[in-house]
Every structure is written in C-alpha cells, then in structure tokens.
Amino acid sequence: MEPEHSAAILKQLNLKVTPRRQEIMNCLGGERSYLSADEVWNRVKPKLGSIGLPTVYRILDELAVAGVITRIFLSDRKQYYFLCANQGHHHHFVCESCRRVEDVEQCGLDGVSRDIARRSGGRVTSHILQINGVCGTCCQEHAEVML
Amino acid sequence: MEPEHSAAILKQLNLKVTPRRQEIMNCLGGERSYLSADEVWNRVKPKLGSIGLPTVYRILDELAVAGVITRIFLSDRKQYYFLCANQGHHHHFVCESCRRVEDVEQCGLDGVSRDIARRSGGRVTSHILQINGVCGTCCQEHAEVML
DNA sequence: TTCATTGCAAACGGTTTGCAGCAGG
DNA sequence: CCTGCTGCAAACCGTTTGCAATGAA
C-alpha cells in the first residue's frame, strides 16, 4: 500500500497520519493471510526501529472499528486481522498449509436467513463462516500432508 | 438429563461416572442456550456443595472434545458451551438477545467446496459456520433493541 | 501550542497447570 | 488397591489501561 493511499484513508477517519499507522496498514496490505497482533508487531518493528505492542493493538483496533480491516476470531482465542481489498460480502478459504487466504464469493447464507425469518420470525445480524482446507498449490506440492 | 443417560454416555467415553460430570451434563442438558464455564460453575455449585472452577473447565473440555457438547465462539473471547441433541451435520443460529440456540440444517457448503475444487484445485477439510441474530420471540418483544 | 499518539509497566480476566489428596471401579 | 478425578493456588498469555512523554497539525 502506497503512503499516499494510507494517508488518505487515515485523514478520512480523522486519525493523524503517523509512521506507525502507515507501516501497519502497509504491512497488512502486503499480506495474503491473517496476522495476529504480535505477528504484525514483529513485521513492523524492524522497519520502524521500535514500537510498543500496545500501540499495535490500539492501531489494529482503530482500523477494525473503522472497517478498514477485518477482525477474525478463531478458536485459539487470539484475534487475527486481515486487510481485504474485496469490499463486497464474501468469506475466506484459509489454507491450513500455507495460511493463504482466498475469497469465497458465494455463501448459502441468503437462503438460511430467509429460512430463519420464515420459520421463526428471527433476524440474522451477522455470521461467521470460515472454510479451512488445503489450497490448490499446496495440494500439488504436499499431496501427502494432512493436518 | 437422567442420571442413567449421562452415566451411559460417560462410560462409552471411558470416563468415570462422577457426580461432578453428571451434574454438569445435567445442567447443560436442561438449558436451551449456551453457557460460559463460570455460569455452569455457578449453577452446579449449590447442587454439589462445592466444585472448583478448574474442574468445570476440565469436564467441559472433555465433553467438547468427545463431541457431546458444542463450543460456541463469540467475539468476547470467552468460550461458551451448548449441549445439542441433534447429532447430524448442522449449524447454529444463536440469539444475541436471549442466547437461545436454534438448529440450522442447511448450509450451502457443498456448493462452495465444489467451487473451490473446480477453480483452484483446493480441498476443503473443515468449516466453521455460526449464525448470530435475534430470534423470533426477541424480535417481537424488543423490536427496538439492537446490539 | 494543543491535543492526539505512543511507550512502558503494570493490571486484567479467562483459562490452564502442577501437585497433593480423594474416590470410583 | 490403583488409576483417574478433583481442589487449590499459582502460572499463563493475549489483551487492555494509566499515565507521563512525545510529536503531528
């Protein structure tokens, strides 16, 4: 992500344009997979000289609240963050081998929502869908690997 | 849940039949919503005289690993547990207002799996789907509440 | 100049662990 | 009896907070 791009986004959010914020956005923008807060920390530390972990948490939280990045909750109780260029509603296919994330456009949720509304009058406000597997590349390279 | 029923399940899992395990299974079996570990703890404490919170965690974990109960992940990073009678492949619609859980039979995942295989040659090994919302009853009672 | 941002250390809270004692089979 | 179960206290670990120092506008 170019500095001007991140600067523009930050200004639009009424956040000051600081090296820490730009570097974190740049870091996530260059990744195809989810990163935890401390993974982001380790990646931006060398480029910034130093940065505190709480700062990383604060910036990630701001960006997630603003909707610039997505928070991912996995079963290990750690939070992961992902900057996805795709703006529309979609989900992720996560490769268990290389952690790469692919977009999944379709999800059967429209049907489910309609079903719930029809059956019990309920309303769906959010849903968590994550598809785990092995991506095409890893399937070929490590055909025998199973985790 | 009757004592004989929980005892049978425990024996099948090669777990000793203890009052603590039975009372926790009984507690979850009598709930239509998910409970956190300390909520289970507070419910079973009076019936057992005393029980340690770590014991509650250990038993809930055993039951979840064995598939007897389901772990529910919400964004507060606490783990919740739910005993579901439905054995087949299905998902849950979780009411954010009253915490009631409804079964969702259909999930559009077959189509997604086929799509991933066709498009990139990847292979789906597992998926997580949880649908959050407001159930029919709560929609009527608290039409104005939004969280 | 001024208020948002950051670093540091310490607190927080849900969960797990180590180990000694207890109890089901 | 002999494991497996449990209680207790303390550790763990990701995350948050308080506060003083710094820096963007």
Domain architecture of chain B: domains with CATH:
1-85 (1.10.10.10), 88-147 (3.30.1490.190)
Q: By the 8 A CB rule, do B94 and A122 touch?
A: no
List of protein residues whose beta carbon is under 7 A from strand C: A 15-16, 18-21, 48, 50-52, 54-55, 58-59, 77; B 16-19, 36-38, 53-54, 57-58, 61, 77-79
Distance CA A1, CA A99 (A): 21
Buried/exposed A14-51: b ≥16 CB within 10 Å, e otherwise: eeeeeeebbbbbbbbbebeebbbbebbbebbeeeeeeb
Q: Nearest CA to A133 among B110, B123, B120?
A: B123
Q: Nearest CA to B93 among B84, B85, B102?
A: B102
Question: In the predicted model, what is the mean pLDDT of chain B?
Answer: 86
Distance CA B35, CA A20 (A): 40
User: In the predicted model, what is the mean pLDDT of residues A59-69?
Assistant: 95
Residue B34 has pLDDT above 80, yes or no: yes
**Residues of A with CB below 8 A from B124's CB?**
93, 131-133
Proximity of residue B137 CB to strand D below 7 A: no
Q: Provide DSSP, B14-32.
A: T----HHHHHHHHHHHT-S
Q: Which ranges of chain B would DSSP assign to H, the alpha helix?
A: 3-12, 19-29, 37-48, 53-66, 109-120, 136-141
**Residues of A with CB below 8 A from B126's CB?**
131-133
Distance CA A137, CA A99 (A): 12
Q: Report the gap between the CA of B30 and the closest CA in chain A (Å).
A: 22
**Inter-chain CB proximity A122 and B130 less than 8 Å:** no
User: What does pTM read for this prediction?
Assistant: 0.80
Q: By the 8 A CB rule, do B73 and B86 touch?
A: no
**Nearest nucleotide by C1' from B78 CA?**
C14
Chain D nucleotides near the protein (CB, 7 A) = 4-10, 14-18, 23-25
Residue A96 confidence (pLDDT)? 67
| pLDDT tens by residue, B77-110 | 899 999 987 767 778 888 877 888 888 877 777 7
Q: By the 8 A CB rule, do B64 and B55 touch?
A: no
Residue B137 confidence (pLDDT)? 87
Residue A142 confidence (pLDDT)? 54
Residue A103 confidence (pLDDT)? 84
Q: For residue B130, give the amino acid letter.
A: Q
In B, what residues contact A, Cβ < 8 A? 71, 73-75, 77, 79, 93, 95-96, 102, 104, 106-109, 111-113, 115-116, 120-140
**Residues of A with CB below 8 A from B134's CB?**
122-123, 125
User: In the predicted model, what is the mean pLDDT of residues B33-42?
Assistant: 95
Type and span of the H or E element at B134:
strand B123-134
Q: Angle at Cα A75 formed by Cα A71 and Cα A80, nearest 5°?
A: 25
**Inter-chain CB proximity B131 and A123 less than 8 Å:** no
Establish how many alpha carbons lie within 13 A of residue B123's alpha carbon, considering only the half-sphere containing its beta carbon: 13
3-state SS, residue B128: strand
